[in-house]
Amino acid sequence: MLQTFEAAKEVGNYADVPVMPADVDPQITISRNWVTQPFYIAFEEDTVLALMSGSANVRLRDTNVKYWPVIPGDHVYVPAGTPHRLEPDGESVLIRFIGNDPAYRAAIFACERCDAELDRLEWEQDLDVEAVAIYAEIVRRFNEDLPKRTCPTCGTVADEISLEQLGWTAEPSAI
């Protein structure tokens, strides 16, 4: 039996650590989050989010629903391809149900002022690769590219994202 809160003590922001045996499909991942996810993420397959502790908003893009407020026990179904991100009000524990096979993911950075898309990076993710290593590399690349951080619609320049605040370290070539 999975001891969710014990497992959560060992993980950090958006770690998305698989916690079930490798042959279990769908797989369950866990993360313990206290900082807003720095980008929207889209999955090739449908996903379900379940908040186990804390409170948060699940913000969505490209849909008529802009966000879902969630408290412990709430589940949010996110259709395949829908960009979404977690905005915790404090520390929260999140589990995510995803497919077990390698699948495409996309990270979408958006302008905080006008919500225009700034950058999108797509990759195929295998559950054997640590999600945090990929996410940190995506953020590192975004931070280093001023034109990608500059909104083509309103001209706002996005601040660099603190890997330290997220508890991530960038390892080049993670993706």
116 in any annotated domain: yes
Asked whether the beta carbons of 166 and 173 are under 8 A apart, the reply is no
Which residues lie below 8 Å from residue 45, measured CB to CB, with a gap of 6+? 80, 98, 99, 103
165 in any annotated domain: no
142 in any annotated domain: no
Q: How far out from the chain centre does Cα 130 lie?
A: 13
Half-sphere exposure of 149 (CA within 13 A, CB side): 15
47 in any annotated domain: yes
92 in any annotated domain: yes
The whole-angstrom separation of Cα 167 and Cα 154 is 31
What CATH number does the domain containing 67 carry?
2.60.120.10
Structural domains counted in the chain:
1
Distance in Å from the first CA to the final CA of the chain: 32
141-164 pLDDT tens trace: 999 999 999 999 999 999 999 999
**For the chain, percent of residues with pLDDT exceeding 90:** 81
Q: Whole domain around residue 74: which residue ranges?
A: 4-127
Q: Which of 109, 96, 128 is nearest to 16 (CA)?
A: 96
149 in any annotated domain: no
102 in any annotated domain: yes
114 in any annotated domain: yes
Local confidence band at 1 (pLDDT 50, 70, 90 cut-offs): very low
Name the range with the highest mean pLDDT among 69-73, 125-129, 167-171. Answer: 69-73
